[in-house]
Structure 1
Amino acid sequence: MRMLQLSLVFLFVVSVHQAGAVELITYDPLSTICFPESNYTANSTYQHNLKSVLLSLSSNISGFATAAVGQGPDKVYGLAVCRGDLSAAECQNCTADAAAMIQQRCSKSKSSTMWRLSCELRYSSKNFMGTVDTNFFFLTNVNNATDPVLFNQQMKALLGNLSAAAANSSSMFASGQIQYTDFRVIYGAVQCTRDLSSANCLNCLNEAVAFIPYCCAERQGAVVIGATCSIRYELYPFLKGSAVGLQLPSPSVAPPTSRSKNTGTAVIAVAVLIPLVLLCILIFGLILWRRNSRKTSQTPVNRDKEEVDGPELLGFNLLSIRAATNDFSESNKLGEGGYGPVYKGTIDGKEIAVKRLSNKSGQGSAEFKNEVRLIAKLQHRNLVRLLGCCMEDGEKILVYEFVPNNSLDRVLFDREKGLPLDWATRLKIITGIARGLLYLHEDSRLKIIHRDLKPSNVLLDNEMNPKIADFGMAKICGMDETQGNTKRIAGTYGYMSPEYAINGNYSLKSDVYSFGVVLLELVSGRKNTSFNIDADGDRDLLNHAWNLCEENRPLELVDKALGESYDQNEALRCIHIGLLCVQEAIVDRPTMSSVGLMLGSTSVTLPAPHPPAFYVGRRSRHEAISLSYSTEQSEDQTLNLMQSSSSNAVTITELQAR
Structure 2
Amino acid sequence: MRRRSSLVHAVLLAVAAVALPLAAGQPWPSCGTGGTYAANSTYETNLLDLISALQGNASSSPTLYASGAVGSGGRDAVYGVMLCRGDLSTSDCNDCGTRAGQDVGRVCNRTRDAALVYNQCYVRVSDADFLAAATNNSGEVALMSSTNITRAADVRAYDAAVVSLLNATVRYAVENSTRMFATGQRVGSDPGFSDIYSMAQCSPALSRPLCRSCLDGLVGQWWDTFPVNVEGARIAGTRCNLRSELNQGTFYTGQPMVVLRADGLAPAQGPAPAATTGGKNNSASKVLVIVVPIVAVAIVAATSFCIWNVRRKRRSRKAEHFSELDASEDLESVKSTLITLASLQVATDNFHESKKLGEGGFGAVYKGLLFGQEVAVKRLAKGSNQGLEELKNELVLVAKLHHKNLVRLVGFCLEEGERLLVYKLGAKQTT
User: Normalising by structure 2, what TM-score?
Assistant: 0.50
Q: Which of structures 1 and 2 has the larger relative contact order (alpha carbons within 8 angstroms, sep 6+)? A: 2
Greater strand share, structure number: 2
User: Normalising by structure 1, what TM-score?
Assistant: 0.34
